[in-house]
Structure 1
Amino acid sequence: MRVAIAGAGAVGRSIARELLRSDHHVLLIERKADHVDPASVEAAEWIHADACELATLEGAGIESYDVVIAATGDDKANLVLSLLAKTEFGVDRVVARVNDPRNEWLFDASWGVDVAVSTPRMLASLVEEAVSVGDLVRLMTLRQGKANLVEITLPANTPLAGKPVRRITLPRDVALVTILRGGRVIVPEKDDPLEGGDELLFVTTVDVEDELREVLGLSQR
């Protein structure tokens, strides 16, 4: 996969290293000269230029990339790049970093953003996930806000203990993705039984989250 990352600060470089470990082709675009350090991510391709300029994106052949990641520390720049990548170059997947949670509402399809990643929101979700048992925690928004990755930890006294997955009738537009149990990651099969303390990861739409809580015997908000 070919991935272009705008912003070669600590965040952009970290993303690049992870992608390179998985054998993806990575391009880093950085406007600030003091952030251009090819030795820090040697396997990546580097361009010293402003990713918000059409000429930069044209010169980089951005239309040939599968994913563009707007990872600068400036929300305005991330939005402009996302819009250009999607509308001018037809990039299939655009991921944008949200620096200020107050701007999160802007990062949607109207600005070319497929996935918005808000570090403050993710950290808050992880805190909630660590302390919440018997409630639904949203971990990530997918598909321009049309679906969420959510986590539910079953309480120790759950009435679902011992019941196989096939006995759980999930609402429409809900998929059970993974069961986390102790140190195990379980891809759920229809005959796998549930246990108290299981962490269940679902992909679901917002409008059926209350139905999901009801099916799992959780209290309503």
Structure 2
Amino acid sequence: MKVAIAGAGAVGRSIARELLRSGHTVMLLERQLDHIDRDSVRDAVWVHADACELQLLEDAGLQDYEVVIAATGDDKANLVHSLLAKTEFGVRRVVARVNDPRNEWLFDEAWGVDVAVSTPRLLASLVEEAVTVGDLVRLMTLRQGQANLVELTLPPDTTLAGKPVRSLRLPRDSALVTILRGGRVIVPQPDDPFEGDDELLFVASAEAEEELRSVLAPIGTAEHTDTAAGLTASQDVEY
């Protein structure tokens, strides 16, 4: 796969090294000449160019790349580069770095972004995921902001313990995709029982996430059995 990365700072170079290790072809675009360090990523194609200049991108052959990553430290530049990549060069997949979480709402398909990655939000989510039990935590936003990957860790004495997957009713446009149990990754089947400390990973549309949060809120310790027993929602989970 051919991947173009706009921004050859610490983030861009790190991404490039990882992709090169996986056997991909990588081009690094960097506007500031003093930031170009070919020895730091020897196997990448280095291009001195402004990622927001249409002619320079054409000269670099951006149209030949399957994936573009806008990884500069400037959100405005990342948005413009994403839009050019998608609309002018027909790049199939555009991933953009969000530096300021307040700008995250802009990084959507209207600006050519397929996947927006907000490092501050991702780190905060990972911290929440590590310490939160019994609450739904958003881990990341998936393609074009249409769906989110969310997680819930069941308390040790959850009322769901021993109940089959089919007993959990989820809202439309949401699905339980895997159960992490110790070192195991379990693809849930209707008759599989839940256990305390299970980590549940869901994919849900943005609209369904709040309803999913409401559905899962009663799943707590044994003292809340009556509430959890009344769990209802619009759609059964299907596998």
Q: What TM-score, normalized to structure 1?
A: 0.91
Alpha-carbon separation, structure 1, partners of 2:165 and 2:43: 44
Cα distance, 1:90 vs. partner?
1.2
Which letter maps to 1:8?
A
Alpha-carbon separation, structure 2, partners of 1:191 and 1:37: 56
Question: Is it true that 1:80 corresponds to 2:80 in the alignment?
Answer: yes
Q: Is the 8 A contact 1:168 1:215 kept in 2?
A: no
In structure 2, the CA distance between the partners of 1:53 and 1:129, relative to structure 1 (3 Å rule), is: same
Q: Which deviates further from its counterpart, 165-174 or 132-141?
A: 165-174
Question: Is it true that 1:209 corresponds to 2:209 in the alignment?
Answer: yes
User: Which consecutive unaligned segments of at least 5 residues does structure 2 have?
Assistant: 221-239
Cα distance, 1:106 vs. partner?
1.5
Alpha-carbon separation, structure 2, partners of 1:17 and 1:178: 30
SS in 1 for 2:148: strand
Alpha-carbon separation, structure 1, partners of 2:163 and 2:219: 16
Alpha-carbon separation, structure 1, partners of 2:33 and 2:186: 46
Percent sequence identity over matched residues? 77
Alpha-carbon separation, structure 2, partners of 1:213 and 1:121: 19
Alpha-carbon separation, structure 2, partners of 1:202 and 1:50: 39
Q: Tell me the matched-pair count.
A: 219
SS in 1 for 2:40: helix
2:9 paired residue number:
9
Alpha-carbon separation, structure 1, partners of 2:35 and 2:162: 54
Q: Which deviates further from its counterpart, 15-24 or 79-88?
A: 15-24
Cα distance, 1:101 vs. partner?
1.6
In structure 2, the CA distance between the partners of 1:169 and 1:111, relative to structure 1 (3 Å rule), is: same
Alpha-carbon separation, structure 2, partners of 1:81 and 1:206: 26
1:41 paired residue number:
41
SS in 1 for 2:81: helix
Q: Is the 8 A contact 1:4 1:69 kept in 2?
A: yes
Question: Is it true that 1:188 corresponds to 2:188 in the alignment?
Answer: yes
1:218 paired residue number:
219
Cα distance, 1:111 vs. partner?
1.2
SS in 1 for 2:39: helix
SS in 2 for 1:4: strand
Which letter maps to 1:130?
A
User: Which consecutive unaligned segments of at least 5 residues does structure 1 have?
Assistant: none
1:174 paired residue number:
174
Question: Is it true that 1:59 corresponds to 2:62 in the alignment?
Answer: no
SS in 1 for 2:212: helix
Alpha-carbon separation, structure 2, partners of 1:203 and 1:135: 15
Alpha-carbon separation, structure 2, partners of 1:188 and 1:2: 35
Question: Is it true that 1:143 corresponds to 2:143 in the alignment?
Answer: yes
- Superposed, which structure 2 residues align to 1:64-143 within 5 Å? 64-143=64-143
Q: Deviations over 1:128-165 (max 9, x none)?
A: 11111111111111233221111111111212212333
SS in 2 for 1:155: coil
Alpha-carbon separation, structure 1, partners of 2:10 and 2:177: 31
Q: Is the 8 A contact 1:161 1:195 kept in 2?
A: yes
In structure 2, the CA distance between the partners of 1:208 and 1:140, relative to structure 1 (3 Å rule), is: same
Q: Is the 8 A contact 2:5 2:68 kept in 1?
A: yes
Cα distance, 1:214 vs. partner?
4.8
Q: Is the 8 A contact 2:49 2:57 kept in 1?
A: no
Cα distance, 1:88 vs. partner?
0.8
Alpha-carbon separation, structure 1, partners of 2:9 and 2:132: 33
SS in 2 for 1:38: coil
SS in 1 for 2:172: coil
SS in 2 for 1:150: strand
- Bigger CA radius of gyration: 2
